[in-house]
Amino acid sequence: MSAEGPVTALVLAAGLGTRLPGSSPKGLRLLAGEPLFIHSLLAFDRCDRIERLILAVPVAHVATAQQGSRGRLTKPLEVIAGGERRQDSVLFGLQTALNHDPPRSIRGRLVAVHDAARPFPDAELISRTVEMARDKGSAIPVVPVTDTVRQIDPTGTGGRLVDRETLRFAQTPQVARLDWLLEGYRRGAAEGSALTDEGAALELAGRPVVLVPGSPSNFKITTPADLAAAEGILQPQLLLGTCIGYGEDRHPLEEGRPFILAGWVIDERNGPSGHSDADPLSHALVDAILGACGEGTIGEHFPDTDVRWAGAAGLDLLGRAARVASEKGFAVVNVDAVLILDSPRLSPHAAEIRRRIAGALGISSERVSVKGKRSEGLGFEGTGRGVSCRAVALLVRKASA
């Protein structure tokens, strides 16, 4: 009976989730700023008992899901189009798993089927479910029913009490041999039977349904209240993973130089002098972003003594700084910058500058603020000898990091 082969995790995010208001399918709804399915994929990616991942999403969302998972996982992921019902998506996923490594014997292979609506499958739960399925061929995690249960009476009277000791709630991941699951789901498709979970498919195939303890934290998101509870669980982690950075830059002004901010010319003459485009806004933002993720300074990453960076445009360096942050596991939440200068006026150009910065950072313009501050004749900025810029950036650690 024992199954020694590789384990594939099949995460189901193709359902519409009609009890959750909103237009996007449930598995793609955001939790802590990320699609629900990412949380499950990351949990399986971290578990060393899982070898590869399959994600089923509605056909219209395959490309988005592929894009959203890129660079986040260490294990191979295949994104597939799910079906109309859960059982259709499972069958597509099982067939995809079957096509992986075809020379290997199907008998030893396990599939862990998981609903993306459960974003917190912990490593112990995944491990004990896989271990039990290795030994017995199947494992379904269950938790006790803690509320009193009453079977309602269609006539409108009070119904009758049910002994809750005999009841269990079934969770996912439900892990079983690939051949058994295929048997059950194929038979279900042929006979037109409704299969709500892998336990039902195993029963239909006449295979044993083995129970293992589930986990109370592995709850299912069905209503807006469940989503709010999940946000509440992730909130402290979010705060710990939130980092702020600060950057400054200043340049002398020189007659005849263009004044460039984020690649946009705000004045043809009397711009900042320096190597490349001497863009104080982009340079201050680069330092703020690098500072937030503990990555040092613009001079360390892009030294002007290096021929690669000597002529680099500020906006290009900003895009590169955002990639440094992303590779370190951070996403930029928002940036705010102040340019201290008396002329030219910044406000006519602010919208275009914000749009360009937003593009370089891969965030929306609403999350970019750029403003000018007059120096009222004080300091080098007020006497027209130079310009300075101060910037802050807020970064958040992505769920995988």
C-alpha span between 191 and 184 (Å, rounded): 10
Shortest distance, position 261 Cβ to Mg ion, whole Å:
12
| Segment contacting Mg ion by CB under 5 A, of 178-186, 214-222, 282-290, 391-399 | 282-290
- Footprint on residues 207-266 left by Mg ion (CB under 5 A): 249
| Segment contacting Mg ion by CB under 5 A, of 27-35, 55-63, 280-288, 335-343 | 280-288
- Which residue's Cβ has the minimum distance to Mg ion? 283
DSSP 104-139: S-STT-EEEEEETT-----HHHHHHHHHHHHHHSEE
Shortest distance, position 311 Cβ to Mg ion, whole Å:
13
Nearer to Mg ion, 210 or 389 (CB): 389
Cis? peptide before 21, omega within 30° of 0? no
Residues touching Mg ion, count (CB under 5 A): 2
Bridge partners for 175 per DSSP:
112, 139
Residue 236, both tokens: 């402290």
Bridge partners for 249 per DSSP:
389
Shortest distance, position 362 Cβ to Mg ion, whole Å:
22
Q: Which are the contacts of 114, defined by CB distance < 8 A and separation ≥ 6?
A: 9, 10, 11, 12, 40, 44, 121, 172, 173, 174
Contact predicate 111/50, CB 8 Å? no
x/- map, 23-62, Mg ion, by CB under 5 A: ----------------------------------------
Applying CB under 5 A, does 390 fall inside the site for Mg ion?
A: no
DSSP conformational letter for 167: -
Nearer to Mg ion, 200 or 353 (CB): 353
Shortest distance, position 288 Cβ to Mg ion, whole Å:
13
Nearer to Mg ion, 31 or 253 (CB): 253
Rule CB under 5 A: choose which of 134, 257, 283, 349 binds Mg ion.
283
Rounded alpha-carbon distances, angstroms, from residue 4 to 112, 130, 134, 287: 14, 11, 7, 51
Shortest distance, position 251 Cβ to Mg ion, whole Å:
6
Q: Which of 268, 342, 353 is nearest to 318 (CA)?
A: 353
Shortest distance, position 391 Cβ to Mg ion, whole Å:
12
Q: Report the interface residues with Mg ion, using CB under 5 A.
A: 249, 283
